[in-house]
Amino acid sequence: MTKHAAVVKTYFTKLGLEPEVADIYTALYTYGPQTISQLARNSNTERTRIYRLMDTLKNSKLVEVEVHYKREIFRAAPIGNLQLILDEKERDLRNMNAGLKELYDIFPRDSLSSQGTRVQFYQGAEGNKQMFWNETQAKSEVLCILYENMQGRVGATFFDRWVRQCNDNGLRHRGIVSDTFMATQREWYETHHNERLTHWEQRSVPKDMFPVTHSMVTYDNVVTYYSWIGNEAFGIAIYNQEIAEAQRHFFELLWRMGTPEQDVVTD
């Protein structure tokens, strides 16, 4: 198990568990049922620290306890019990999303348009993720001109969460897609099976008519431009109703000239 220690610790930490919890569980799994003294030696964790963390292990359903005369024996519970933590986190996330919708009622996005034109710059991978997430709160149809697929850049976890939020909010997407987009889609879905947008249509336009060199998204009073070349990621969001309307007209012209494309189908 030594070579997997870093993987186990990283996952446990993402769940909000202390790194020593991973050490203790790994020792129980590797060496079998143990007393606290044995566990301290095998996990290289102080006895007092194990006592303090044992409630965490029990609450997380990671250990099972056998009570013997004047001592307790601890054994590793199935690792699948972590699903209980994931289920709880998903419930918490759904509740937080519901609360966020209430906040949108208190602080409506439309009120921002009254402040005049606004330009927001997004830097790096996390900046682009924030820009994508803002899109999930769109009130209108989302119109996209896409150079490449986003999941290859943001990763499966974020993409699935983004898709679920778009679908939960009933968003409709249409996209003008490039050859690069189609190629990255095929490459991605050869090895991944992700959530899919419920309402998605796509068309392609010949490169000699309109070469797609970066991605653009239009919704509500927002036009976003983003690019991800190598490790350099950036995005720009322009909040202006007139610019958004002009971009929508431009998109519709391309859409009428485009050829319907079959989306990548997964099993």
Q: Where are the domains of the chain?
A: 2-83, 109-260
What pTM, to 2 d.p., does this model score?
0.62
Please name the residues in contact with 21: beta carbons below 8 A apart, sequence gap of 6 or more: 12, 53, 56, 57, 60, 62
Domain with residues 2-83, CATH architecture:
Orthogonal Bundle (1.10)
User: What pLDDT digit, counting tens, does each position of 91-135 carry?
Assistant: 888 888 778 777 777 766 655 555 578 899 998 888 889 999 999
| Residue 216 · residue 144 · CB < 8 Å | yes
User: What pLDDT digit, counting tens, does each position of 149-158 carry?
Assistant: 999 889 999 9
Nearest of 131, 7, 47 to residue 24 by alpha carbon: 47
User: What pLDDT digit, counting tens, does each position of 162-218 carry?
Assistant: 999 999 999 999 999 999 999 999 999 888 888 899 999 999 999 888 999 999 999
- What mean pLDDT do residues 215-241 have? 91
User: What pLDDT digit, counting tens, does each position of 58-103 carry?
Assistant: 988 899 988 887 788 999 999 988 888 888 888 888 888 778 777 7
Residues 109-260: name the CATH superfamily: Endonuclease Chain A (3.30.870.10)
Strand partners, 235: 122, 226
- Say what the pLDDT of residue 70 is: 77
- Say what the pLDDT of residue 266 is: 45
- Say what the pLDDT of residue 73 is: 92
b/e string for 222-237 if b means 16 or more Cβ within 10 A?
bbbebebeeeebbbeb
Reported confidence tier of residue 2, pLDDT bands at 50, 70, 90: low
| Residue 44 · residue 32 · CB < 8 Å | no
Residue 224 above 90 pLDDT? yes
| Residue 199 · residue 163 · CB < 8 Å | no
- What mean pLDDT do residues 47-64 have? 91
Please name the residues in contact with 63: beta carbons below 8 A apart, sequence gap of 6 or more: 25, 28, 54, 57, 74, 75, 76, 77
Residue 267 above 50 pLDDT? no
